[in-house]
Amino acid sequence: MQAGSQRTLRMRAPDFHSALVPGAQTRMALPPRASFAEGERIRVEISFGPLADEIDLYGVVNGEGADDAALELDRACAAQLAYVLDVLGGQREAAARRHRRLASSLPVRWEDASRTVTSRLADISAGGAFIAAEDLPRVGTPVTVQLHTGDVRAPLRLDAVVTWVRQSRDMRRGFGVAFRPEDAECASRIKALVREHEAEAPSGGQTLASSRA
């Protein structure tokens, strides 16, 4: 995923299922009233309702125009697609929502025992963040994260732990961290930062509303 170059299509899970091409579950029809370009990358955010976490899938547009454009889902998303289909088929429950994730591009400096790296966030929540990175730490690695929030106070410095890693070249490489705030003031600053992102969310990024809602 390249910053600023990828649109998002938000869909309810049943509508996503209806959009899948019969016999080709890695191909989905795109909304007929939207314009797509051949080769365009699209992020599909699938919602299971207000109490469950969304699932992200990624794909490339095959075909142009409103009538024949379809999205070929990335093979790297096979596990996420299987999860969605299992939930829709009643084989498992959707994971309960913990924190709302919000798109972000805040500058960040992170360090572990062997390196210090300057990068940017891709998203943030009250419980953690996704950090864009090429040089990836291992899951379980303790890291220190320093966020440059833009306010008059010193940068927000947080202890965190790496909870997952994305290595795929088809999407933005990076890793997720869970915050470990050391005191109430630190936790309060995180919440304030998330509220700022929530206030800016309606104008942030280009979003496609699903016409199947």
Task: Return the closest-CA partner of residue 120 out of 133, 111, 137, 101.
Answer: 133
- Give 173-199 pLDDT, tens digit per residue: 899 898 888 888 888 888 888 888 877
Any domain includes 211: no
Asked, for residue 207, whether it belongs to a domain, the answer is no
Q: Please give the chain's pLDDT, 213 residues, in tens.
A: 333 456 888 888 999 999 998 877 789 998 877 788 889 998 898 888 766 777 889 999 987 555 568 999 998 888 889 989 998 988 888 776 566 778 889 999 999 999 999 999 988 988 889 999 988 999 889 999 999 776 656 889 999 999 888 876 666 789 989 888 888 888 888 888 888 887 776 543 444 433 332
Mean of per-residue pLDDT scores for the chain: 81
Say yes or no: 75 and 92 in one domain: yes
Could you say which of 50, 69, 97 is where a domain stops?
A: 97
Domain co-membership, 82 together with 141: no
Question: Do both 85 and 111 map to the same domain?
Answer: no
Same domain, residue pair 112 and 134: yes
> What is the residue range of 107's domain?
102-202
Domains: count for the chain:
2
pTM score, whole prediction: 0.52
**Encoding tokens for residue 129?**
């963040």
208 conformational bin, left if phi > 0, alpha if psi -120 to 50, beta if neither: beta
Strand segments (E) across 87-153: 102-103, 107-111, 116-124, 128-132, 142-147
- For residue 12, is it within any domain? yes
- CB 75 within 8 Å of CB 59: no
**Domain shared by 106 and 47, yes or no:** no
**How far from 127 is each of 158, 160, 177, 201, CA to CA, in Å?**
11, 10, 8, 18
What's the Cα-to-Cα distance from 104 to each of 49, 126, 130, 204, 213, rounded to whole Å? 23, 13, 9, 9, 26
Q: What's the CATH number where 16 sits?
A: 2.40.10
Of 75, 97, 119, the position where a domain reaches its end is 97
Q: Dihedrals φ, ψ of 43, to 5°?
A: -100, 130
pLDDT in tens, 51-75: 677 788 999 998 755 556 899 999 8
